[in-house]
Chains A and B, each alone.
Chain A
């Protein structure tokens, strides 16, 4: 069912807003007329002119106040809700189109990162995220003993294959592998 709205609803609202002003204009006009006629009857010309002048000024000011706020409300009303409904943007945050998450070995990529000592336990999400599958055991002892101090420090990273402790499979490693495989399957499926 289509609901029809009155085409002249805006005019009715405008008339309701202007009603107090119209009443005020009539009152000022009546008072000025009565006072002016009384003063004119008593031949007080200057006072009569002053009363009519003041009444005219009041009427002009009233008309101006009644008209200009109405126009400004009509012009500015749509802009305020639009500004309030705008979503807040997060600075320095990238919302690129999401790419499908895929797991692949870094060593198999075309980039020249094979000489960095990266182990085959790393897999890459998109092109700027690397996950470390073999980080369950925590920090590498060699790193803990002497980490690089700054980001620009150039030190040779030791490959994990030389660590005899990590080469021995443990129960935690087995559970880790199971969870990792299930996670990879879920990400590939999504």
Chain B
């Protein structure tokens, strides 16, 4: 069951500058966002809070974003997943999308593109 006071959007990336920049973007867009740098911490949070949307970076040192996506699908199936990466690999993209990702973004992406994907995912969740 989803608990109260949960963030609508969770962001997982190992790069602190990306977390900081996207956090500011979400604040400016009036989105309740929580940022994570550790995949395990994010999964623990998702298991208890069931966020609506999760933005996950693919390339992370501790755990791949695709693996996080698969584990997230088990512990929180209702969470919509948006995958983003700096390396546009068609196979990774197709794998992520076929696994149920709502969107796949390659960096650098426009802020409006990201917000569009998030709002679309939130629309389908609600």
A residues with CB within 8 A of B? 90-96, 98-99, 101, 113, 116-119, 122, 125-126, 128-132, 135-140, 143-144, 147-151, 153-155, 157-160, 176, 179, 183, 187
Q: Is the CB of A148 within 8 A of B110?
A: no
Smallest CB gap from A176: residue in B: B124
B residues neighboring A (CB under 8 Å): 15, 17-18, 20-22, 24-25, 58-59, 64-67, 69-70, 73-74, 77-78, 80-81, 85, 87-95, 97-114, 116-117, 120, 123-124
Q: Are A139 and B90 in contact (CB under 8 A)?
A: no
7 contacts between A and B (CB under 8 A): A94-B107, A99-B110, A116-B93, A129-B109, A143-B73, A147-B70, A157-B95
**Could you tell me if B95 and A90 are in contact, using CB atoms closer than 8 angstroms?**
no
With contacts A128-B109, A137-B100 known, is A90 near B20, CB below 8 A?
yes
Interface of B is mostly: helix
Sorted nearest first, the 4 A-B pairs with minimum C-beta distance are A94-B108, A139-B73, A147-B70, A143-B99
Partner of B102, one of A90, A113, A125, A135: A135
Contacting residues, chain A, for B108 (C-beta < 8 A): 92-94, 96, 128
Beta-carbon contact of B103 and A147 below 8 Å: no
Q: Are A138 and B98 in touch, CB under 8 angstroms?
A: no
